[in-house]
Amino acid sequence: MLAAGAGSRFGGTGHKLSATFSDDPRRAPRSVIERALASVVEADIGPVVVVTGAHADVVPEEFAGRVAIAHNQQWSAGQITSVRTGIDAARRLGSPRVVIGLGDQPFVEPAAWRAVSAAEGPIAVATYGGRRGNPVALDEDVWDLLPESGDEGARALMRVRPELVREVACTGSPADIDTTEDLRRWQSN
C-alpha cells in the first residue's frame, strides 16, 4: 500500500491519511489509512507492505506487527519510486506478485483486493463501472518494464503494453481523499 506522499493538497491540520471520518453514524470515526489498511488486511492475500515517505508514522498502531513498513527515501521524486520501494520489499519477501493500492482510498473493499490478486495475467487492474482504478496486480516478469522515474506507477506501463492487462470488475469505490472537501463529502453521506 502506497502511503508516501506529503498530502499537500489536503489543506487541513495533519496528514490526510490520519484524518478521521465516519460515513455511518453507528460506527466510530476511523482514519483514512486505517480503513484502507483494514480492507487489505481483511482480504488476506499475503504480506502487507506499507510504503511510507514524507511521514514515516502514518501507520496506525493497531497494525503494528500485522504489516511491514518500507520507507521510501526518494518519495518526493514521484509515485514510481514508491512502487519500486514496494517491489523491492516484495523481492526480499520472495513474492512473485505485488498488488498495489493507495492509502488514501478507504473505500476499496476486501473483495476487490482478492479479485485482482487472483486474476490471471501479468497485469490485473480493478475496474469500477468500467473505469480503471486500484488495486493493480503486477507479476514479477513485468516489474522491470515499469518506468524508472515519474509520478505514475503501473498506469504508464498499462498504456504502452495494453496486451498485458486484464481488467477485473470490482465493487466498492476507488474514491480517494485528497482534500478536506473530499473528506467532508464522505462525512455527509
Per-residue pLDDT tens over the stretch 61-104: 999 899 999 999 999 999 999 999 999 999 999 999 999 999 99
Q: So what's the pLDDT on residue 188?
A: 52
> What is the CATH classification number for the domain harbouring 105?
3.90.550.10
Instruction: Give the 3-state secondary structure of residue 66.
Output: coil
Q: So what's the pLDDT on residue 120?
A: 96
Q: Residue 102's beta-bridge partner residues?
A: 2
Give one DSSP letter per residue of 77-125, joined into a string. Answer: G-HHHHHHHHHHHHHHHT-SEEEE-BTT-TTB-HHHHHHHHH--SSEEE
Arithmetic mean of pLDDT over the chain: 91
Residue 5 pLDDT class (50, 70, 90 cuts) = confident
Q: Is the pLDDT score of 140 beyond 90?
A: yes
Domain span holding position 151: 2-187
Q: So what's the pLDDT on residue 128?
A: 97
Which carries the bigger pLDDT value, residue 179 or residue 2? 2
pLDDT tens-digit series, residues 10-31: 876 778 898 888 777 777 888 8
Q: How many domains does the chain have?
A: 1
Which carries the bigger pLDDT value, residue 173 or residue 177? 173
* pLDDT over 90 percentage in the chain: 71
Q: So what's the pLDDT on residue 126?
A: 98
User: Considering the entire predicted model, what is its pTM?
Assistant: 0.92
Q: Is the pLDDT score of 42 beyond 60?
A: yes
**Side-chain half-sphere exposure of 122, counting CA atoms within 13 A:** 15
